[in-house]
Structure 1
Amino acid sequence: MEHKTIGELIMAYFKSHPKQDLNHAPVVDWVEEQYMSMYGKKPRDIWRNIRSLYQQGQLIQVRKGVYRYDPNYVHDVDLYDFPADVKEEIFKRDHYRCVVCGLGRENGVEICADHKRAKDKGGTNTAENGQTLCTQHNLLKKRYSMTEAGKRFFIKMYEDAVRIDDENMIKFCSSIFNLYDQYGLDSQIQRPD
């Protein structure tokens, strides 16, 4: 039996179902079964590999969690980082500090230039689309959408305000949670108040 990578298995499944909108369950199940038969162990991060193939232009994202392979639309996507001069412009503009927590290199914190709008969602490599984040907040943003990350930050602020009995900050955060509710955003994240 020919050995294949997780990415090759994913593409084999999508190519055998061209122009079909596929959610992750059948793809993951099939890839896992094939991988187990080849290597005798479960593959890791199949869903992340699917997303990576989309980011490379091999798959089309129909909607969140649903992808399609169309041989007529496969293209290479230019996924590159900010050029060095633009990265420096972003850092300088943000005073070499994370725009979320305010920590920076002088605090011994590593900083990075982050795309406000991701490249795979049409974001550009311009300073206007960049922001300085510490590695902790950059990882949080990658893990969650911007609104999810924002809600989690406000939850932390709220909890800190409750701990020190800061009534103004408690009211402020509660108002923000009300806006999340009003617009139906991130209801899967329980508000703490």
Structure 2
Amino acid sequence: MINLMEKEKMEQPISVPRQHVLEMRDLSIFYGEKQAVYHVNMDIEKNAVTALIGPSGCGKSTFLRNINRMNDLIPSARSEGEILYEGLNILDSKINVVNLRREIGMVFQKPNPFPKSIYHNMTHALKYAGERRKAVLDELVEESLTKAALWDEVKDRLHSSALSLSGGQQQRLCIA
């Protein structure tokens, strides 16, 4: 039997210090003269789920693309303010964008797998990084597809086109 004092201790919330993985400081995003995002100040906690909710056209996707520096590919796009990733301003022109994208990935609502096999989609980045050992590639493919809850559905057709998968399967493939 638990005495009253022990029960009260059990019911108190555990206080865990919060760590911010991303911090937006007065972030504004423009396309030419049109301002799409206005003075965002926001912290995103490490190991937490964060949702952006708003009507169509309010700047959610623009904001997310900016975190990954994908807006750099749009000539008229520019940003003001800061996005701090573990304390480093990722909007700084000296940031290596390729390395940033290795740290901060994006999965879109509409998945975009390569028009190649499921296996090729899974091994493309690994091969680009220099991994050539088939046993290692096979192991990582199975491990990643299992974590994305897709392995059992595709293990017998890894060399089929990724475009033959359903939308939900393509999404999980892109996550894997």
Q: Same fold judged by TM-score > 0.5?
A: no
Q: TM-score, normalised by structure 1?
A: 0.26
Question: Which one scores higher on RCO, CA 8 angstroms, separation ≥ 6?
Answer: 2
Structure with more helix by fraction: 1
Q: TM-score, normalised by structure 2?
A: 0.28
